[in-house]
Structure 1
């Protein structure tokens, strides 16, 4: 058994590998009583893998003012691979994000004290007007980079994303309720048309596996 606090910028799978654990399977993701996020993995013993220290990437074209330093910021979010008889639900990132025009999964940051599954239901409704059921935990992913928030604040950004599979039993024409936020558009996409969409780098490498699971 291994228990540790995830440091800023760290990834739980890589941390487990450095402690001698492999084949991690995420069993549970929940808020503890003190508001902290707890991830529980089932693992297999293995040889420890020495962690590598790679430079933290920056947003393309980022310009820093003299002496400007990035403020650490960690964002925990829940996202859904939402499917229905109409296809896969995708949302388009707005101009307020660092990747406008790219398509991604419905979801977003958790409110203080909010459980991840509750956050998933809320975000899917706000970004598409859809209700989901049969929610199933898939994986947790992290990203770490330096860039600017929509406010202009320079951030050392650590994204922790909890990804679920979910089924929409009564799909309707999707509509963005959270107007003026990070979502510009939303639509049901037939599976055989997914390759036509410019998917977010955070999710594109994993979509085929998630949809097959």
Structure 2
């Protein structure tokens, strides 16, 4: 069975030295997952590669730049707040020395670093509700936390 991909999305997981994740609280002015938490990221522009989009979206939404993003996961997941919409997600990750003071909230109600234990209590949009816990249980996250 072939699944129709409705959107292509790039997301970024930044992990600070304390193991906290940079997350966005979406505002109420969006049709997609209002008042829910998500990763910085968004739709790919036509012809844009996922890695390029991840860097662009990270900068647009947070004012942050990182030298290298590594692919954590690429696959299909429910996208947005619309039934039946499927997105092709490319999720990248990187360590960062940035703090909340360095972050510019370019989109959404808030953008901040969140402790691991608190992350697990947040209400995420559909795709991020699958992706974020998977990352927290991953070897990639454990390696970043050990290195920090």
Question: When the two structures are superposed, what TM-score results if normalisation uses the length of structure 2?
Answer: 0.74
> d(CA) in 2 for partners of 1:206 and 1:111?
22
CA distance 1:170–1:99, change in 2 (3 Å): closer
**Residue of 121, 127, 130 corresponding to 1:205:** 130
| 1:90 equivalent in structure 2 | 23
CA distance 1:146–1:94, change in 2 (3 Å): closer
**Tell me, what secondary structure is at the counterpart of 2:98?**
coil
**Tell me, what secondary structure is at the counterpart of 2:109?**
strand
Deviations 1:5-42 (A, max 9, x none): x6525xxxxxxxxxxxxxxxxxxxxxxxxxxxxxxxxx
1:109 equivalenced with 2:105 (yes/no): no
Determine if contact 2:24/2:112 at 8 Å carries over to the other structure.
yes
**Tell me, what secondary structure is at the counterpart of 2:33?**
coil
> d(CA) in 2 for partners of 1:132 and 1:117?
12
1:191 equivalenced with 2:119 (yes/no): no
**Which is richer in strand?**
1
Higher alpha-carbon Rg = 1
> d(CA) in 2 for partners of 1:117 and 1:145?
19
Question: When the two structures are superposed, what TM-score results if normalisation uses the length of structure 1?
Answer: 0.54
| 2:63 equivalent in structure 1 | 129
> d(CA) in 2 for partners of 1:137 and 1:188?
20
How many residue pairs match? The answer is 134
**Which is richer in helix?**
2
CA distance 1:208–1:111, change in 2 (3 Å): same
The structure showing larger relative contact order (alpha-carbon pairs under 8 Å, at least 6 residues apart) is 2
> d(CA) in 2 for partners of 1:184 and 1:128?
12
Q: Could you tell me how far 1:172 is from its partner in structure 2?
A: 4.5
1:167 equivalenced with 2:95 (yes/no): yes
Q: Structure 1, unaligned stretches of length 5 or more?
A: 1-5, 10-73, 149-154
Q: Structure 2, unaligned stretches of length 5 or more?
A: 140-148
**Tell me, what secondary structure is at the counterpart of 2:34?**
coil
Question: Alignment RMSD, CA only?
Answer: 2.7
**Residue of 10, 14, 33 corresponding to 1:99:** 33
**Tell me, what secondary structure is at the counterpart of 1:196?**
coil
Q: Could you tell me how far 1:186 is from its partner in structure 2?
A: 0.9
**Residue of 138, 141, 150 corresponding to 2:75:** 141
